[in-house]
Amino acid sequence: MTLIAVTMLRLFDASRDEWRDAIDQRWAKFLAHCALLPLYLPNDPQVSQELLERLQPEGVLLTGGGSCQALSGSVDCRDQTEAMLLAWAQHKQLPVLGVCRGMQVMLAAAGGMLERVAGHVGSHEITFRGVNRRVNSFHDYGFLSVTAGYEIEALSADGVIEAVSHPGKRHSAVMWHPERNPHFDDADISLVRQVFGVSP
């Protein structure tokens, strides 16, 4: 299995007065279907960078959950960790996949502008590479245009961009959640395998 670095969201447990790093357990199952082994990274840029250098994963997955710097207006340790990951992957010329927030982080870092959108919480139809399909979306902000170098791979009926790629940077991103399907979609598995160069 191919080892990839995977980010986690931050949750505050008020009963214990502590911040926790967390991730949906469905990610491990979905990635296993893609022949990928997750290296979960803490939201600490120094510790995460040390893990990257020691273990040398072959790609990066920026997962969803929570508001990124472009929306919150402030920088937390997750924002710092993900910025480091984007720079590290670019230096190593490794593939990066952004999912939901991950796509927001990726495109915002490239100068993209997030716009408020409606009707993108729940299942809805998109056109992906010329094929109509239904996906799980859980976002209130999206993109209506992309910056130079990024190519639009998917659109929803209202014109919101649902997937992009940047061959030069080896960036790919989707606004839906492949891990949340009760039965993983073969199209999602194929896409993720393609991003990280895993043979069928």
pLDDT band at 66 (very low <50, low <70, confident <90, very high): confident
* Amino acid identity at 139: H
Residue 195: name the closest of 115, 91, 50, 98 by CA: 98
- Predicted TM-score (pTM) of the model is 0.94
pLDDT at position 70: 64
Asked if 104 and 68 touch (Cβ cutoff 8 Å), the reply is yes
pLDDT tens column, 21-65 = 999 999 999 999 999 999 999 999 999 999 999 999 999 999 998
Class of domain 2-103+163-195: alpha beta
Average pLDDT, the chain: 93
Q: Which residue has the higher pLDDT, 70 or 144?
A: 144
Q: Report whether pLDDT(94) > 90.
A: yes
pLDDT band at 113 (very low <50, low <70, confident <90, very high): confident
H or E element at residue 153: strand 151-156
pLDDT tens column, 99-112 = 999 999 999 999 98
70 vs 75: CA distance, rounded Å: 9
Q: Report whether pLDDT(177) > 80.
A: yes
Alpha carbon distances (Å) from 35 to 28, 69, 97, 191, 194: 10, 31, 15, 12, 11
Q: Report whether pLDDT(68) > 80.
A: no
Q: Report whether pLDDT(71) > 70.
A: no
pLDDT tens column, 114-170 = 888 887 778 889 999 989 999 988 878 888 999 889 999 999 988 999 999 999 999
**What is the rounded average pLDDT of the residues 186-190?**
96
